[in-house]
């Protein structure tokens, strides 16, 4: 048991001062007591928040950031960007993936994320044949997380066809091939690596209704739900208008209808993007208690469109945020762009705020925490007994935070300028970042640099 005393902290019921936080040997919060004067406890000089969950990441795409901004044939669309991504993915080895993932995870930790949900579809060798150890690419992500200390929810993705027409996987897509039976084998192989570790868990990803035929969706979901306990299930859905058009042409149904016909979404689901869901579809998602996974920096970079957040919140919908292609690695930046996109679309300010919660920063941070925790399948997102001791510490002397108190702190964290105010980060009771630095960041950056120089030569 280790005891800390935070100057200020955001607790489930609100802000508190002199908060005594006891962390047990398993990395869970054992007790929380505000108003303590225990001088024997290790003092946390700053403002403590629950760490954010990155509910959707493709780690390897961190290496692609900045390489797709030149106008070329078809590059002005998502589909042109996808071809560039395929070219990059085709070159990666497990060692490359580990180096890129570790660099990303250090950046995510510094950006306020304490959990990352990895939507993993880079399964096989470049020619599509399995690695001698079929978990090689998945374990590269796991090894990176062990090195950086970030909590990892790993979602191996089922990926079976090139489009809704059932075309065969070609080129780099052959690396992605995985059917429900293969997913089961992969999960069974990975379970030993994840056993008895509170900072690692597994789940199911279905790439999309484009890449997974309805019968396979039914089979995979039944397999995941049949394993007992809560297992998160994620899928890309309605990200692009073309996906909607293709489903209408192929099935006479929109993507959500195709999904619901195959396997009714429930509280264990995260629908990633949902950019082009109708208000009626949002109501169905809300009724199912599914989480919408929003990735504003990636959605902006790819020209996906603007998610109808105001409608979703008005319906009582749940959401979380993800870094996706990792053109952004800051939780505050992701939430800032989410809100600013809404302001541009609605021609007014503080779209996410309500009369019950008038501070946009507080509402966005806390709602994203709750949705992200659910999508990650981990007991996180609250400084309360029984939850993981995942927290970030803000420097109260940071220029953006000077003179701010209570909910103004979160407003400033999201909407004030300047470098990050995050000084320290704890995951599962262990400090990963102190004074703005990760202990292994120099060696991780060196390995990343060497990897990228070789890949881009």
The two structure tokens encoding residue 144? 């990176």
CA 447 to chain centre: 24
What CA–CA distances, in Å, run from 116 to 52, 190, 226, 413? 9, 17, 25, 20
Task: Determine the angle formed by the axes of helices 94-110 and 441-455, rounding to 10 degrees.
Answer: 130
Are the C-beta atoms of 368 and 317 separated by less than 8 Å?
Answer: no
Q: Which SS3 state, helix, strand or coil, does residue 437 take?
A: strand
Residue with tokens 């078809």: 74
Q: Enumerate the active-site residues.
A: 273, 324
Phi, psi of 378 (to 5 degrees): -130, 150
DSSP string, 358-407: --HHHHHHHHHHHHHHHHHTSS-SSSSTTSB--EEEE-TTSTTTTT--TH
H/E stretch holding 325: none
Are the C-beta atoms of 248 and 254 separated by less than 8 Å?
Answer: yes
* Residues 337, 9: Cα–Cα separation, whole Å: 25
* Residues 142, 135: Cα–Cα separation, whole Å: 10
């Amino acid at each position: 048991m280790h005891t800390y005393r935070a100057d200020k902290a955001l607790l489930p019921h609100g802000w508190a001062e002199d908060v005594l936080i006891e962390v047990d040997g398993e990395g869970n919060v054992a007790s929380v007591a505000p108003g303590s004067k225990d001088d024997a406890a290790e003092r946390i000089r700053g403002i403590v928040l629950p760490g954010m969950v990155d509910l959707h990441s493709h780690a390897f795409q961190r290496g692609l950031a900045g390489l797709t901004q030149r106008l070329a044939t078809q590059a002005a669309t998502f589909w042109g960007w996808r071809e560039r991504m395929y070219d990059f993915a085709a070159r990666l080895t497990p060692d490359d993936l580990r180096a890129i993932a570790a660099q990303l995870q250090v950046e995510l930790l510094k950006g306020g994320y304490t959990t990352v949900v990895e939507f993993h579809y880079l399964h096989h060798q470049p020619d599509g044949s399995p690695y001698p150890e079929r978990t090689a690419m998945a374990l590269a992500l796991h090894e990176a997380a062990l090195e950086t200390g970030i909590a990892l929810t790993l979602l191996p993705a089922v990926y079976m066809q090139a489009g809704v027409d059932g075309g065969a996987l070609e080129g780099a897509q052959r690396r992605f091939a995985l059917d429900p039976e293969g997913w089961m084998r992969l999960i069974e192989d990975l379970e030993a690596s994840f056993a008895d570790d509170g900072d690692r868990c597994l789940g199911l990803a279905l790439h999309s209704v484009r890449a997974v035929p309805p019968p396979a969706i039914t089979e995979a979901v039944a397999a995941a739900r049949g394993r007992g306990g809560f297992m998160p299930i994620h899928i890309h859905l309605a990200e692009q208008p073309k996906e909607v058009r293709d489903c209408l042409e192929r099935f006479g149904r929109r993507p959500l209808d195709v999904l619901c016909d195959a396997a009714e979404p429930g509280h264990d689901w995260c629908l990633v993007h949902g950019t082009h869901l109708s208000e009626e579809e949002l109501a169905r998602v809300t009724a199912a208690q599914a989480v919408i996974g929003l990735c504003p920096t990636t959605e902006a970079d790819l020209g996906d469109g603007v998610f109808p957040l105001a409608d979703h919140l008005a319906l009582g919908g749940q959401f979380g945020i993800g870094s996706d292609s990792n053109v952004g690695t800051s939780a505050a930046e992701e939430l800032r762009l989410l809100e600013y996109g809404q302001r541009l679309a609605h021609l007014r300010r503080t779209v996410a705020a309500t009369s019950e919660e008038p501070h946009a920063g507080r509402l966005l941070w806390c709602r994203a925490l709750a949705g992200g925790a659910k999508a990650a399948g981990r007991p996180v997102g609250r400084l309360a007994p029984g939850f993981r001791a995942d927290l970030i510490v803000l420097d109260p002397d940071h220029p953006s935070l000077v003179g701010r108190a209570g909910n103004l702190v979160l407003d400033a964290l999201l909407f004030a300028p300047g470098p990050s105010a995050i000084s320290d980060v704890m995951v599962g009771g262990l400090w990963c970042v102190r004074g703005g630095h990760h202990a292994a960041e120099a060696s991780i950056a060196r390995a990343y640099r060497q990897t990228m120089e070789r890949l881009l030569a």
